[in-house]
């Protein structure tokens, strides 16, 4: 089931580390693609953004099962790539995301919480 995603974001390359950033992107894409091939995730999609003046230059969206994505995040190979990214690019981060059936549950909780706040006057 695809009920979650990882949003893996990065900003500008640290000055002087351009070659390393290209190498790391390729290595990261190969690693993430291997997760599809082994059935650990459903999909991986890379994005590069057009110049826009912000601090986000690109990201990966990795879709899969919440429990499996949690395991992947703690795997040594994933952690090693993440640590290398922190050294090579600015504003690197990995953010969990909710999708699929879990999104419906999350929205129901949000609606319930919004009603409580409205009912309570604040």
pLDDT of residue 100: 85
Euclidean distance between CA atoms 121 and 4, whole angstroms: 33
Q: State the DSSP H helix or E strand holding residue 61, giving kind and residue range, or none if neither.
A: strand 58-64
Question: Among the residues of the chain, which ranges form H helices?
Answer: 18-37, 66-74, 76-88, 100-119
Domain ranges of the chain: 4-119
Domain 4-119 CATH (choose: 3.30.70.120, 3.40.50.720, 3.40.1110.10, 3.30.70.100)? 3.30.70.100
> In 3-state terms, what secondary structure has residue 69?
helix
**How does residue 65 score in pLDDT terms, banded at 50, 70 and 90?**
very high
For residues 33 and 46, is the Cβ–Cβ distance under 8 A? no
Asked if residue 54 lies in contact with residue 6, where contact means CB atoms within 8 angstroms, the answer is no
Q: How confident is the model at residue 122 (pLDDT cuts 50, 70, 90)?
A: low
pLDDT digits (tens, 9 = 90+) for 77-108: 999 999 999 999 999 999 999 998 889 999 99
Query: pLDDT tens, 2-25?
Result: 899 999 999 999 999 999 999 999
Q: pLDDT grade, residue 121 (50/70/90)?
A: low
């Amino acid at each position: 089931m695809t009920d979650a995603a990882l949003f893996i974001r990065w900003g500008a390359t640290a000055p002087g580390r351009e070659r390393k950033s290209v190498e790391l992107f390729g290595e990261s894409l190969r690693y993430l693609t291997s997760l599809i091939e082994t059935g650990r995730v459903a999909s991986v999609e890379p994005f590069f953004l057009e110049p826009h003046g912000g601090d986000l230059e690109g990201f990966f969206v990795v879709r899969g099962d919440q429990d499996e994505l949690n395991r992947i995040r703690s795997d040594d190979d994933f952690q090693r790539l993440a640590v290398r990214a922190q050294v090579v690019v600015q504003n690197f981060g990995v953010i969990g995301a909710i999708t699929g059936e879990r999104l419906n549950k999350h929205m129901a909780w949000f609606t319930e919480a919004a009603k409580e706040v409205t009912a309570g006057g604040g």
